[in-house]
Structure 1
Amino acid sequence: MPEPEPLVLDPTGSDPDAENLALRERGPATLVDILGVRAWSVSDPALLKQLLNSKDVSKDGRAHWPAFAETVPTWPLALWVAVENMFTAYGKDHSRLRRMIAPTLSARRTSVLQTDIETLVNDLLDALDRLPAGESIDLREHLAYPLPIAVIGQLMGVPPYQRAEFRTVVDNVFATHLTAEQQAANTAALYSLLDSLIDTKRVKPDEDMTSLLIATRDEEGDGSTLSDAELRDTLLLMISAGYETTVNVIDQAITTLLSEPQQLAHVQEGRCTWHDIVEETLRHNPPVKHLPLRYARTDITLPDGQTIQAGDALLASYAAANRHPALHRDADLFDAIRPTKEHLAFGHGVHFCLGAPLARLEVTTALRLFFERFPHAELATDEAELRRLPSLISNGHTTVPVRLRHRSPSEGHRTAETGDTPSHYRHPR
């Protein structure tokens, strides 16, 4: 069967819904051009889960992608395939690296952060509460961004004065409209920040994950547990993955609830929980649309007769898969009370996102407390006028302008009876 012409993915991500529909219409997997690289985009959820679980599919480009050496020097997304951490590891190397990180991000350890996260959210909402009634505020900038930056900053021991710099370079890692030269400069700036953090923590260690990883590396001494490159790139992964994706989920959830008040009414009137809202957001608008890259270790025959050849690159197209009609009825509609909200937003198989419990906790807490404080908030512009992030990877908006329409002080900060875990609340001023 002759191969079709690759579908060229839009580096600015201007119309992901149309692009995802085009991918699904071309079959369970189809050839695409991702910034000049030929890859198989997999949008059928059953096939994608099968490939994500298969030992015949690797994330190690150095070992299993013949085009690695010639691609990395000039490809704008080189960092996504060239880092040396569990994101790009395969087999025993992946197991070794994952075992080191997994205990620090378990659901049990994450749950103890509940009160700290609530305090952070309430501090942000206190600042919003002081704004004049009717004033438009960008919630991406003033809620969705600062919360995960503060949480991951505390976990990793990033000093507050460095968090703004980390935000800038991490944003650019996800920006697919930059040139290879611009991305190379951004990578250099990112590694400079990481090296500075490592140097600081070696001199003055603390009770944070960066200090723990450095101690593990230095105690072994021979690199058998964690090499210098793996140490630096593991920090890169934890900071970037723990920040940008959570921002997008908060962004998308608030945007949807303010655009579709009947969905907000479901949780306010007890027909669903905030957990349901978060899971449907992850399904309907996952924080990552396409995740580069994986590689076929052997020839793989597809259900439609096409063959992914050994050495071909694969692109996990999570956003297209989440809305596949084989997975959900009326998949393009956001429905917080749909019976099942199965999705692939956090991946599947051995590379399933370790930070999923933390992301869910942050987003659930942010939404619950925000809508308790500002139940009559509204978008300050039409949803159609919101601008997408210039990225084929990151799935969010450049701004989320909202008018808060404060409640009267006599209403207080009532706890929503949604079945979620009760929390500590500040007294209204």
Structure 2
Amino acid sequence: MAEAPSEPIPFPFPDPPSVCELPPELAEVRDGESVVEVKFPDGITGWMVTKHADVRKVLLDPRFSSRVIATAAAAMSETETGKLMNESLVGMDPPEHTRLRKLVSKAFTARRVEQLRPRIVELVVELLDELQTLPRPVDLVKNFAVPLPVRVVCELLGVPAGDQDTFHAWSNALLGDWHQVAEKEAATVALVNYFGDLIAVKRQKPADDMISELIAVSEEEDSTLTEREIITLSIGILSAGHETTANLISMFLLTLLHHPEEFDKLRANPEALPKAIDELLRFVPLTATGGITPRLTTAEVELSNGKVLPAGVVVLPAVATANRDPDVFEDGDRLDLAREQNPHLAFSTGIHYCLGAQLARIELQEAFRAIMERMPEVRLAVPESELRLKPASILRGLESLPITW
């Protein structure tokens, strides 16, 4: 008698006991079947892949389309949120993706991003100066982790400083839980209108910023770049450029405090920061699975365990478990800030490799360089058990991180 097919596993998995831990179910899948069918809260089913080789294949193989976002957004395709999802870089395949990414990638060359380091250092100093005047304990999330990347990305885009707090609120809503439909729609409409007005201003008074550069490109005789595309690109850069880094700053510090021996080694050798930041990127996932964007198969694909996925199914690459795969990372569940071989997938890979990866690395490096120099005795001001992840958010980030020093 044939074995009855197993039921899809409900996803997301329950929260682990500690904010520093991953759901144990992820490792169980990776070290067991490695590819399992899951059922999302809206009833849609898909396949979660967990091994490094398979996750990398999902991210690189063109048979895994990013247009799944457009498919998922079909029910709300007439809303501004649905339109934005369908038009975003993360939801595009070539050739549309290739054309737009080429235009915006000029602003993220390694040389240009490195030129931002002195300004990032200035912003870090300004924020820590302000933070150190506050009564202790101080919330690192509110007073440092959020405002640093907000200021960096707004200066990069050309957003006035006075609008930055409002921007964070809109972006936070945009990356909220999918069930918060009204909040996401209101934030999207506000952002689209804001950038439309800002573009009009910069057409008259261009400046040394990314939006002015994109406007100049759109006004070239043979340009295909539209104003709507400038708006969509700007919103994508705003959201991806600060929400992720803001969460990583607080989660990285918590992780270091959770591993005091590793933190002590880093304090003793701050020149090892670049390598340490990459190890933290590997070890600390950005979401419950470490990946944000699911894919859609456009053809039949065979994975490493022999599992064949048919065309037309949703696939969720679990970067978090891929980044701890024992086949690739020796003792992968251990934080090792001196790790030499580190082919992590925290920034994805292939055509959707994070445009702002080097910018995020610089922000994280300078943030922790300054924290270690100025607050060598930094520590939690509350028991770790009292810390909470932000509710109703796609990204894993702390509501607050009370510290003292």
TM-score (norm 1): 0.84
2:207 pairs with 1:201: no
SS at match of 2:316: strand
Contact 2:108–2:355 at 8 Å: present in 1 too?
A: yes
**Inter-CA distance 162–68: structure 2 relative to 1 (3 Å threshold):** closer
CA contact (8 A) 2:73 2:82 kept: no
Contact 1:33-1:39 within 8 A present in 2 as well: yes
CA contact (8 A) 1:377 1:403 kept: yes
Q: Tell me what 1:233 maps to.
A: 232
In the TM superposition, what is the alpha-carbon distance from 1:68 to its structure 2 partner? 5.5
User: 1:114 aligns to what?
Assistant: 117
The one-character-per-residue Cα deviations of 1:306-357 (angstroms, maximum 9, x if unpaired) are 3322121222222222122223233222221233233111001111111111
Quote how far apart the aligned CAs of 1:394 are: 0.8
- Corresponding residue SS for 1:39: strand
**1:87-109 deviation line (CA, Å, top 9, x unaligned):** 22212222111111112111111
Q: C-alpha displacement at 1:49, in angstroms?
A: 0.9
Residues 266 and 337 in structure 1, CA contact (< 8 A), matched pair in contact too: no
Q: Which residue of 2 aligns with 1:84?
A: 87
Question: 2:285 maps to what in 1?
Answer: 286
Q: Work out whether 1:138 is the aligned partner of 2:139.
A: yes
Shift of 1:2: 6.6
CA RMSD of aligned residues (A): 2.7
Q: Is the 8 A contact 1:12 1:390 kept in 2?
A: no
1:97 corresponds in structure 2 to 100
Match of 1:7 in 2: 9
Aligned residue in 1 for 2:327: 326
Bigger Cα displacement from structure 2, 299-308 vs 163-172? 299-308
Q: In the alignment, does 2:49 pair up with 1:48?
A: no
Answer yes or no: is the 8 Å Cα contact 1:174–1:391 preserved in 2: no
Name the CA shift for 1:330/1:390 in 2 (closer, same or farther; >3 Å): farther
1:20 to 12, 16, 26: 26
SS at the partner of 1:320? helix
The answer as to whether partners of 2:14 and 2:23 remain within 8 angstroms in 1 is: no
Q: 1:166 to 1:250 in 2, by over 3 A?
A: same
Which amino acid in the other structure matches residue 42 of structure 1?
V
State how far apart, in whole Å, the 2-side matches of 1:239 and 1:189 are.
Answer: 13
Asked whether 1:264 is paired with 2:257, we answer no
Measure how far apart 1:78 and its partner are.
Answer: 4.9
Equivalent residues in 2 for 1:140-219, closer than 5 Å = 140-176=141-177, 178-219=179-220
1:72 is displaced (CA, Å) by: 5.2
Q: What amino acid is aligned across from residue 24 of structure 1 in structure 2?
A: R
Letter in 1 for 2:360: A
Quote the offset at 1:402 in angstroms. 0.2
1:62 Cα deviation after fit? 7.9
Judge which range, 181-190 or 52-61, deviates more: 181-190
User: Helix, strand or coil: the match of 2:138?
Assistant: strand
Distance of 2:373 and 2:392 partners within structure 1: 32
| Deviation of 1:280 (Å) | 1.3
CA offset at residue 85 of structure 1? 3.3
- The one-letter code matched in structure 2 to 1:285 is V
Give distance in 1, aligned partners of 2:395 and 2:291.
Answer: 8
Distance 1:157 1:277 in 2: 31
Name the amino acid aligned to 2:33. Answer: G
Counterpart code for 1:204: K
Contact persistence 1:12–1:392 (CA under 8 A): no
Q: CA deviation at 1:225?
A: 2.3
Alignment-derived partner of residue 359 in structure 2: 358
Name the counterpart of 1:33: 39
Instruction: Give 1:28's aligned amino acid.
Output: S
Unaligned runs of 5+ in 2: none
Q: Which moved more, 1:212-221 or 1:354-363?
A: 212-221
In structure 1, C-alpha distance between the alignment counterparts of 2:233 and 2:397, rounded to whole Å: 25
Look up the equivalent residue of 1:50 and give its one-letter code: K
CA gap of 1:307–1:184, structure 2 versus 1, over 3 A, is farther
- 8 Å CA contact retained: 1:290, 1:393: no
Deviates more, 1:192-201 or 1:282-291: 192-201
Residues 352 and 54 (structure 1), Cα distance of their counterparts in 2 relative to 1, 3 Å cut: same
What aligned pairs does 1:345-424 form with structure 2 within 5 A after superposition?
345-391=346-392, 393-404=394-405
Structure 1 Cα separation of the partners of residues 371 and 170 of structure 2: 28
Percent identity (aligned): 32
